[in-house]
């Protein structure tokens, strides 16, 4: 069923190629087989598939195995029903209720989108949640609805304060998506507060590879090429103190505004136990039509032209979009061992 082409990955063992249709079925069947309700698995499946198509291999199929493992261990309730509260016409809160972030975000977006279009701006907080995976998928969803979107999500402590040694905040990504015309994304920024994703260091440790200097610090706060020491120490913040500053913004937007856990108090993102992660997400959606109106797209186009007129430049998200076009045609590679693990949950 899945054997439609084989190749060797650079950092993986033998792999096969899945069509988009078969990849979608694999993701959905693994989630539901491990204990997720079909309703909760739908938007989540599209997010994982989009991540893999974008070429972010460490955040798609790779993390799906942990989602399934956590369903079985009781860390996450795959059948949880998110609880929505409308705080005002432009302020919405959704309690993920110890369930996946994705169903809670999806439920909140059903209120957020019309509220932002009607009033010009609206905000959504998602509390007591779980790994939101690729944050840009969610902000991109809002941009396709014609809304300018900010997104934030906090995570388990992995970055020490600048000059310190003990991790206080997570890699805490933030995302910004700009709508284009006719349901398109003009450009999208999705970046963590660390120099490199934590998953990249974790995978290097699993595969026995050194990491470049500048990715992580050892427990003494010194740069290291040993991923094991990096995981025991701290991720290096992006841009030094500026990266830590971004992470602080995300921590306040998520933990403080939603009443969820700080990174230092979260459950593990990987351990197969029954301790919930309890992180959070926050989104702000803005209607360009309500603010600048018709000039919005012309001004953004001018900005984009100024960037692309210089040789060698590209827009944020351009690489992901190129990967989407390529992988939709060629199919998605998956490691055979990982495929067998995922199929065991179906």
Residue 176: predicted pLDDT:
98
168: phi then psi, degrees, rounded to nearest 5: -120, -40
Sheet of 332-335, strands arranged across = 6-8, 14-18, 332-335
- pLDDT at residue 12 greater than cutoff 70: no
pLDDT digits (tens, 9 = 90+) for 132-147: 999 999 999 999 999 9
pLDDT digits (tens, 9 = 90+) for 182-202: 999 999 999 999 988 888 898
- pLDDT at residue 254 greater than cutoff 60: yes
Distances (CA, A) of 111 to 114, 150, 329: 6, 16, 35
Q: Let me know if the fold of 6-73+331-343 is the same as that of 83-194+237-286.
A: no
CB 317 within 8 A of CB 299: no
Q: Could you state, in order of their start, the residue ranges of all structural domains in the chain?
A: 6-73+331-343, 83-194+237-286
- pTM for the predicted model, two decimal places: 0.92
Residue 339: predicted pLDDT:
96
pLDDT digits (tens, 9 = 90+) for 257-287: 999 999 999 999 888 999 999 999 999 999 9
How many residues would you count in the chain? 346
Average pLDDT across the chain, whole number: 93
CB 59 within 8 A of CB 199: yes
- pLDDT at residue 1 greater than cutoff 60: no
pLDDT digits (tens, 9 = 90+) for 206-243: 889 999 998 999 999 999 999 999 999 999 998 888 99
Domain 6-73+331-343 sits in CATH at: 1.10.1530.10
Sheet of 91-95, strands arranged across = 83-88, 91-95, 121-129, 279-286, 148-153, 174-179, 185-191
345's tokens: 């949950």
Q: How confident is the model at residue 13 (pLDDT cuts 50, 70, 90)?
A: low
CB 180 within 8 A of CB 186: yes
- pLDDT at residue 157 greater than cutoff 90: yes
Average pLDDT over every residue of 99-112: 98
Q: How far apart are CA 43 and CA 41, in angstroms?
A: 6
Q: How confident is the model at residue 106 (pLDDT cuts 50, 70, 90)?
A: very high
Indicate the class that CATH gives domain 83-194+237-286: alpha beta
Average pLDDT over every residue of 143-158: 97
Residue 239: predicted pLDDT:
87
Average pLDDT over every residue of 100-112: 98
């Amino acid at each position: 069923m899945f054997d439609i082409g084989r190749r060797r990955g650079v950092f993986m063992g033998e792999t096969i190629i899945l069509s988009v249709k078969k990849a979608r079925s694999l993701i959905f069947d693994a989630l539901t087989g491990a204990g997720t309700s079909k309703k909760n698995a739908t938007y989540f499946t599209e997010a994982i598939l989009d991540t893999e198509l974008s070429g972010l291999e460490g955040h798609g199929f790779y993390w799906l195995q942990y989602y399934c493992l956590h369903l079985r261990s009781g860390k996450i309730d795959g059948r949880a029903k998110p609880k929505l509260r409308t705080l005002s016409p432009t302020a919405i809160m959704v309690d993920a209720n110890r369930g996946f972030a994705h169903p809670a975000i999806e439920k909140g977006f059903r209120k957020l989108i019309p509220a932002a279009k009607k009033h010009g701006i609206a905000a959504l907080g998602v509390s007591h949640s779980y790994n939101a995976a690729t944050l840009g998928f969610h902000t991109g969803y809002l941009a396709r609805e014609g809304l300018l979107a900010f997104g934030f999500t906090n995570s388990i402590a992995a970055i020490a304060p600048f000059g310190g040694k003990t991790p206080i905040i997570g890699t805490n990504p933030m995302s910004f998506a700009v709508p284009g015309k006719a349901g398109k994304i003009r450009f999208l920024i999705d970046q963590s507060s660390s120099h490199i994703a934590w998953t990249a260091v974790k995978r290097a440790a699993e595969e026995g590879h050194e990491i470049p200097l500048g990715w992580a610090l050892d427990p003494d706060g010194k740069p290291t090429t040993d991923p094991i020491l990096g995981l025991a120490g701290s991720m290096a913040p992006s841009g030094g103190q500026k990266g830590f500053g971004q992470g602080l913004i995300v921590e306040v937007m998520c933990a403080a505004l939603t009443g969820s856990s700080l990174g230092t108090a979260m459950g593990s993102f990987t351990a197969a136990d029954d301790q919930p992660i309890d992180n959070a997400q926050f989104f702000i959606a803005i209607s360009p039509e309500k603010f600048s109106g018709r000039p919005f797209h012309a001004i953004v186009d001018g900005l984009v032209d100024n960037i692309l007129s210089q040789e060698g430049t590209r827009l944020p998200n351009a690489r992901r979009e190129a990967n989407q076009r390529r992988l939709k045609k060629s199919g998605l590679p998956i490691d055979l061992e990982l495929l067998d693990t995922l199929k065991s949950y179906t």
